[in-house]
Structures are given as structure tokens and as C-alpha cells.
Amino acid sequence: MQISELARRTGVPVATVKYYLREGLLPSGELTGATRARYDEAHVERLRLVRALLGPGGLSVATARSVLAAVDAPGTAVHEALGAAHRALPGVGPGDPPDLDRARAVLARRGWRVAEDSPALRALAAALAALEAAGYPPGDDLLDRYAEAAGRIGEQDVAEVPAGSLPEAVRFVVVNTVLLEPVLLALRRLAQEDASGRRFSGG
Amino acid sequence: MQISELARRTGVPVATVKYYLREGLLPSGELTGATRARYDEAHVERLRLVRALLGPGGLSVATARSVLAAVDAPGTAVHEALGAAHRALPGVGPGDPPDLDRARAVLARRGWRVAEDSPALRALAAALAALEAAGYPPGDDLLDRYAEAAGRIGEQDVAEVPAGSLPEAVRFVVVNTVLLEPVLLALRRLAQEDASGRRFSGG
DNA sequence: AACATTGGACACCGCCGCTATCCAACCAGG
DNA sequence: CCTGGTTGGATAGCGGCGGTGTCCAATGTT
């Protein structure tokens, strides 16, 4: 199929498809002439993935490029792919390292083992610092409950990874890491709304 | 104190403080002359809150303005404030309403009661649609486990709301709704990393 | 031969979060 | 009372981002 059909089938404007090609989010089609290229079903799928990452996934083009690079890297082991995806995700800038101790303490209480330089660890520390700066330093009990809930989820996420094909596993890990975040946040808000209704408006 | 000290104490450039004043994120100080205004501790606190919402909270200036309006509205009941905060948060655009049925079914299985037009419900539906479009439609069991974990968290969030002062409760709800999101996401990633290490690299 | 479409390159746009400049009005020190 | 630095307020500009519009020669299609 040609670019116009690729665009039509995915609902993405042709100019935007060209933009994604330029940005390296979408591999170029097979050239059949100086002004013709052929695209296939894989491109349709990839384009849908790109749109999901950029839109609901909330990734920037640059971040999506890194994440997709992790997906494309051949022979990546699943654990490394997950690390690469985490590293590519919008983390904390190169600001001064906040107090990792508090974050590490939470992990230690749950017995979690993560890389020393895990971006998620830095992200947690930064988030805790932000809460502190806003005047609501979270208590250990709160953090522990959050960690317990997060633990169930992370456990399940990893358990669901398909064992067969390695590239498929990598793709699964990346997609689910990114696209289940909005699901989790929406569910949390819904749970809050339900609990708030029960507590505060006696429904 | 004057604007320069306010800026110094919070580490925010004076030009940026002026910008926040213009944008209505920060109430103006008490005018003591045509070119003088006095700021107090409340301004310091508010400015820190604004920075937390804009930075780690990930809110846009426009969204932060709405959220802060909910905080400032006098006499708002807690349940309504939470609703206002949720409504102000970056939700789903006015695109065509996706299939809310799948989302509603998840809530029904847990017995949650939320507003018919809850923005979080639309957000959940949109997130599910994105997963579907990306080729990974989530199973009911996955959703139920996510919902269970989210339920514990939402329950705790609401339980922690201080009962005494109403404005304080509203502020607490808004701050925690927004600023605990990055905490939860970071913890999920850390849990994934731990579980992945145990499953895939036999640590 | 006539016409539409394509890949590719480049310029441009609108939005956003600041940031820089300027000004008249001040206030503080000497 | 003068001098110099600071302030509130207004306005303009900037850099990054995610596209979009335009143009071109080469290529298909009829």
C-alpha cells in the first residue's frame, strides 16, 4: 500500500506520517522507485503503536523514539528491555540527586531489589521531595501501602509477559509499561470518587 | 517581604513569579504603594505548591489554574472539591465518547459508584481504547486486579483526608491527588524491575 | 499526452512556559 | 534633596515541540 492508504487506514494525516518517518518513529517503506514506496501491515500496526504512545501514553516524540528503539533492538533480553524502557521514559532531569535514602528505605522494607542507578528510584525520590516541598511529607505507612499495591501490580505485569517470542515479549513489556499507566491512574481516581462519596456525601 | 525575597526564598526567578501572578496562579501581594507590594509566608507556601503542581505534578499552567481555583473556592465540600480537582485534571478531549461500557463493567464488578459523567470514567474508557488500538486489549482479570489495587489506594487516600478544617481538607485532597500520582507510577516501575529481575535474570 | 500522486526537503505555524526589556513610581542612604 | 537601586506592571520576544503547508521532480495512471 502507498502512504495515502496507510494514512487513511490509521486516520493519521499524510503530512504527519511523513513527520514520523522523518523522526524515525516509523521505518520507511520499501522503495519501489524514486517517488514510490510500499508499506505493509506492519507499518499500520507500528503507526497505531506510535499514536498510542504519543497520545494516551503521554510520551514526547523524543521519548517515544527511545522507547521504540528499545523495542527494535534485536536480541534484547526482557529484563534489559524493561530497563531500557524505564530509562527512556520521562524521568527526572539531571538535577541534583535528591535524598534517595527515603526511597531506598521503602524498597528495603518490601525486599525489592533494583539497580543502584534505577531511573525509577530517582523518580520516586523526586516525587517524595515534591510532596515534601508542597508541605505534605508522606508517612511511612502511606508509602508502604502504596508500595504494597504497586507491588501487586508490578508482579502481575511481569507475570503476564509472554514467554515465547523474545521480540514479542519486549514489545509487550514496553507497551504495557506505558499504556497501563493511564489505566491505573484513572482507576485510582474512580476509587477515590467512590470512597469519597461513601465518606463525605453519605451515598 | 518583597518580590525579590519571595523569589530568593523559593528559588524561582522574579520574572517567573511575575508570570505566575499574571496567570492567576499566585494571588497578588498587598499593595503598599504604586510600585510596592508585600508578600507573606502564605505566598511562599503557595508558590511552592504551584511549582510542585507544574513540575513533578505535570500539570499545565491552565490546568493548575483550574485545580487551584478548586482549592481556593470557599466553602466547597470535600466530595465536590475532589470532583472539581478531577474535572480540572488533564482529561480526555472532547473526542467522540469511547465505549464506556467496558469501563463501567469494571466498576460494577467492584461495586463502585461514581458520577455518570465522571471524567475519570471517560479517561479509563479512553485508556482502554488506546490499549486495544495498540493491539493489547486488557483482559477482565487484569483489569480487576488493577482495580483492586487502585481500590486500596483510593480508599486510603480518602481515609487520610483530615476531618477538621474544610479548606485544609480540600487542599489536601487536591495536592495528594496530583502529587501522589508520580509516586504510584514510580513504585509500579520499581516493582516491575524487582519482579523482572527475579523472573528473567534469576537474581 | 494529460493529470494525479508520491517521496523528500524545507519553511512555517500555533501553543506553551517562561524570560528580557522598559517604564514610571517609588524608597533608602547619604 | 539628590542619587541610585528596586518594584509593579505592561509588552515583546524566545526556544522547544508537534505538527502542517508548499513546492519539486519523478513517477504512475488513463
- Residue B88 — pLDDT band, cuts 50, 70, 90? confident
Say what the pLDDT of residue A97 is. Answer: 67
Which of the listed ranges A38-47, A77-86, B91-100 does the model predict with the highest average pLDDT?
Answer: A38-47
Residues 146-185 of A with CB under 8 A from B: 146-161, 172-173, 175-177, 179-185
pLDDT in tens, B115-139: 998 999 999 999 999 999 898 999 9
Residues 70-129 of B with CB under 8 A from A: 77-79, 82-83, 86, 89, 106-107, 112-115, 118, 120-121, 123-124, 126-129
Burial class (CB in 10 A: 0-12, 13-18, 19+), B72: middle
Compute the average pLDDT of residues A140-168. Answer: 93
pLDDT in tens, A61-108: 999 999 998 888 877 788 888 887 888 777 776 666 678 999 999 999
Percent of chain B with pLDDT over 90: 69
- Residue A146 — pLDDT band, cuts 50, 70, 90? very high
Which of the listed ranges B83-87, B91-95, B175-179 does the model predict with the highest average pLDDT?
Answer: B175-179
Distance CA A9, CA A12 (A): 8
Compute the average pLDDT of residues B78-96. Answer: 76
Distance CA B8, CA B2 (A): 10
DSSP-derived secondary structure for chain B: --HHHHHHHHT--HHHHHHHHHHTSS---EEEETTEEE--HHHHHHHHHHHHHHTTT---HHHHHHHHHHHHSTT--HHHHHHHHHHHSS---SPPP--HHHHHHHHHHHT----TT-HHHHHHHHHHHHHHHTT-PPPHHHHHHHHHHHHHHHHHHHHTS-SS-HHHHHHHHHHHHHHHHHHHHHHHHHHHHHHHHHHHS--
Say what the pLDDT of residue B166 is. Answer: 84
Interchain proximity A152–B153, CB inside 8 Å: no
Compute the average pLDDT of residues A11-25. Answer: 97
Looking at the complex, does the CB of residue B25 fall below 8 Å from at least one CB of chain A? Answer: no
Protein residue closest via CA to C1' of C25: B35
- Sorted by where each starts, the structural domains of chain B and their CATH numbers stand as 1-54 (1.10.1660.10), 55-200 (no CATH)
Looking at the complex, does the CB of residue A22 fall below 8 Å from at least one CB of chain B? Answer: no
Protein residue closest via CA to C1' of D22: A15
Say what the pLDDT of residue B80 is. Answer: 83
Nearest CA in chain A to B172: A136
In sequence order, what are the beta bridge partners of B36? B33
Cα four-point dihedral sign A146, A148, A152, A158: positive
The Å distance, CA of B35 to C1' of D1, is: 21
Mean per-residue pLDDT over chain B, rounded: 91
pLDDT in tens, A106-131: 999 999 999 998 999 999 999 999 99
pLDDT in tens, B22-69: 999 999 999 998 899 999 999 999 999 999 999 989 899 999 999 898
The residue that leads in pLDDT, B90 or B128, is B128
Q: Which of B127, B149, B173 sits opposite A153 (nearest CB)?
A: B149
The Å distance, CA of B28 to C1' of C24, is: 20
Looking at the complex, does the CB of residue B187 fall below 8 Å from at least one CB of chain A? Answer: yes
Looking at the complex, does the CB of residue A51 fall below 8 Å from at least one CB of chain B? Answer: yes
